[in-house]
A and B are shown apart, each in its own frame.
Chain A
């Protein structure tokens, strides 16, 4: 394959600015917060102990900071045979392999059990770089998470690096 070929095709460029909306339906609930905290191994009583949390400045249970970004809140999104959600950002072949290039989280409001979380993902940029073993395609996206009162809970700016499969 010609190494000088320009891989950021018109098809890829057209993805810049595209948005996808994911709507949560259910309140996340104390149970989901507790399961997440236990999975991380984070036993901060603010996340798991109602009585303790009530007396804190938060007045009740809150979720660990990264809960809002890490959890797939729209449970209706379809899952493929390999276990990955089909609504993830994808590029046309041969760019099937993905590395995480970094995340930038902005925590704007504590997440509470009664929140119903939706998100809006926007593709900010797509560009290529020459890697050691070929071209890499960088996809920068920004996902904004809101609750049912339209309060912004947090923003996650993510870089995904696509490699040829």
Chain B
């Protein structure tokens, strides 16, 4: 968590968002399946995933969206508000992958009394491959 209050005036176009590193485990995928009430075997049953032709179970797509929003909320702190997140997963992620969420500020503007920040966000695997691409909009005081 960012304990210092982030203000609109503190942010410049081109600023980097502090990254978030996640090492995904099979245990986490089991927990996430249960917590989200999504029991598709592809995410927790290795035999099922291998029979489908994958080398291992797949990381849930929305978990990657959850990581990106976690990175953004950590950055903006409690006084900021996440408004929109758009993302697209380009490749499968697997247990034991180390995923790094990254982002940078692409635009800032004020409209109707609210201060908006737009960012480009993405996730990189340990092979420096961008597995997820996205954009986010948030507001700051």
Which residues of A are interface residues toward B (Cβ below 8 A)? 32, 35-36, 38-42, 44-46, 56-58, 64-66, 69-72, 75, 79, 82-85, 100-107
Contact = CB atoms under 8 A, between A and B. Distances in A.
Interface stretch (B10-18, B33-41, B104-112): B33-41
Given A44-B74, A102-B88, A106-B84, A70 B66 contact: yes
A64 B39 contact: no
B41 A65 contact: no
B65 A66 contact: yes
Contacts of A101: 88
B73 to A, nearest CB: 7
A82 B36 CA distance: 16
Contacts of B7: none
A58 B78 CA distance: 9
A35 B35 CA distance: 6
Given A36-B36, A82-B41, A82-B48, A107 B65 contact: no
Q: How large is the interface on B (under 10, 10 to 19, 20 to 34, 35 or more residues)?
A: 35 or more
B82 to A, nearest CB: 5
Main DSSP-derived SS at the A contact region: mixed
Given A82-B42, A83-B38, A83-B45, 19 more contacts: A35-B31, A39-B34, A41-B22, A44-B70, A44-B73, A46-B78, A57-B79, A64-B66, A64-B70, A64-B73, A65-B69, A70-B36, A72-B36, A100-B61, A100-B89, A101-B88, A102-B86, A105-B84, A107-B82
B83 interface: yes
22 contacts: A32-B35, A39-B28, A39-B36, A40-B35, A40-B67, A42-B66, A44-B1, A66-B62, A69-B62, A71-B37, A72-B37, A79-B39, A82-B41, A83-B42, A100-B88, A101-B88, A103-B62, A103-B65, A103-B88, A105-B86, A106-B84, A107-B82
B63 interface: yes
Interface of B: 1, 22, 28, 31-32, 34-42, 45, 48, 61-63, 65-67, 69-70, 73-74, 78-79, 81-89
A103 B34 contact: no
A38 B124 CA distance: 22
A72 B63 contact: no
Contact of A36 (B35, B61, B88): B35
B54 to A, nearest CB: 12
A38 B86 CA distance: 23
